[in-house]
A = this chain, B = another copy of it.
Amino acid sequence: MEKWDGNEGTSAFHMPEWMIQFADQKQEFNKRPTKIGRRSLSRSISQSSTDSYSSAASYTDSSDDETSPRDKQQKNSKGNSDFCVKNIKQAEFGRREIEIAEQEMPALMALRKRAQGEKPLAGAKIVGCTHITAQTAVLMETLGALGAQCRWAACNIYSTLNEVAAALAESGFPVFAWKGESEDDFWWCIDRCVNVEGWQPNMILDDGGDLTHWIYKKYPNMFKKIKGIVEESVTGVHRLYQLSKAGKLCVPAMNVNDSVTKQKFDNLYCCRESILDGLKRTTDMMFGGKQVVVCGYGEVGKGCCAALKAMGSIVYVTEIDPICALQACMDGFRLVKLNEVIRQVDIVITCTGNKNVVTREHLDRMKNSCIVCNMGHSNTEIDVASLRTPELTWERVRSQVDHVIWPDGKRIVLLAEGRLLNLSCSTVPTFVLSITATTQALALIELYNAPEGRYKQDVYLLPKKMDEYVASLHLPTFDAHLTELTDEQAKYLGLNKNGPFKPNYYRY
């Protein structure tokens, strides 16, 4: 604020460095990595495609079968072989998982019901690339019920549930995914989804942007028939904004990552629970009376702080943004610099989206038994690399828990090697996944049915009315009863009785 005329209020989209670097690292398909360990490998595909996912454990043990699915000949019970999964025989177990998930995804089931007359996705040919779980299966089968044809690959080489993939293949979905793909497998699967004779996608559902990236690289002409892209992840959305900024986005894209319901549920409400869950499962610690510093007071930080305060911890907050900082103050947290409290805290939690928030210097100053973990978006918030030095001893004490031991005997307890605690050490409730999946379905419907001209070659937020609709589909879960505006009230407020109810800038 040196100069009074400074104004950057329009806040154009900033292209962060990590996204730029990231894009450069993309490699070509079929350059088979030889003798390269997983660590280097994982840098060549999107980060999200290699993050491990704790709920992604395979339900049944199939470790005995080491044959690559690409080398197998499999058919489902109807003789169809247009898929590639670990073991089609696991279909029955996967089907039961899908049925259980259906019970907890009432919104998608309601969409299916509504679609019994009308098929809003009739004619849609959707190619998808997401985690393949029971919840995704409910989404895919819903898209099918709404009239769409689907082909699907996994967006993460570890997260596929083989049994679910088998169940989908058995039901006739061309699915190409298994747990433990190599990078080459990863791109091969994606290619099998789009490179098909006599079938060309007209919609893309992506999670991380790898599918979109592949089509751009390999089949750019395909975009002529594509009506739109629906993208769910932070990473993928940023890539789309980059494309848009560079004038290279050739179809409309829907950013479902920033929808209100997704933001609040995935971040505030879900993290409020998963921070406790992740810490308990890994350390069995007691929260009462513990001193905790939470770095970052965005939605994730707010959720973590609220939960820990409620459990009797004493919580400090660090922030770079003065508005979030003031919120932290008003919510009853002392706002400090990390250095001020680093010697006294029992737990350090990062929720910033930034890098090197916890440095080796901080780690050196922590007290014995201090727990360090990351709830933010990447695995660089804690400078874990700086701990890989000879004078420090690493001791794996449990799955996802390392003791890092200083020469003087001091230990710090590092969770999930600095990767996301909530993905690695806790589970994501189906209810949260239901909100995301419903949003994806509605975004596909909107883009597919939008009249000519409503959407240009740009990145759009979900129309508020859609966001409200997703929310309304989840209210019955809570036996919640919405009030309707009277005609008189709607007129008084200048609103349509069916919404949208808020201006776009409303903050909730």
Contact = CB atoms under 8 A, between A and B. Distances in A.
Given A14-B493, A103-B369, A335-B478, A7 B324 contact: no
A198 interface: no
Given A4-B120, A276-B276, A330-B289, A468 B322 contact: yes
Contact of A288 (B258, B269, B493): B269
B1 A323 contact: no
B9 A475 contact: no
A60 interface: no
Contact of A17 (B104, B429, B492): B492
A8 B325 contact: no
Interface string A127-170: 00000000000000000000000000000000000000000000
Given A16-B494, A335-B480, A354-B492, A5 B449 contact: yes
A14 B506 CA distance: 14
Given A289-B329, A429-B284, A500 B9 contact: yes
A507 interface: yes
A38 B496 CA distance: 35
Interface in A460-476: 460-469, 471-472, 474-475
Contact of A8 (B4, B10, B324, B500): B500
Contacts of A429: 284-286
A393 interface: no
7 contacts: A7-B463, A260-B507, A269-B330, A335-B480, A344-B479, A355-B492, A505-B505
Closest 6 CB pairs of A and B: A9-B463, A310-B310, A14-B494, A335-B480, A322-B472, A16-B494
Interface of A: 1, 4-11, 13-19, 55, 103-104, 118, 120, 258, 260-261, 263-265, 269-270, 272-273, 276-277, 280-281, 284-289, 291, 299, 307, 309-314, 318-338, 340, 344, 353-357, 368-369, 426-432, 445-446, 449-451, 454, 460-469, 471-472, 474-475, 477-486, 488-489, 491-496, 498-505, 507-508
Given A11-B504, A276-B277, A289-B477, 8 more contacts: A8-B464, A14-B495, A260-B323, A261-B326, A269-B312, A288-B330, A291-B334, A318-B483
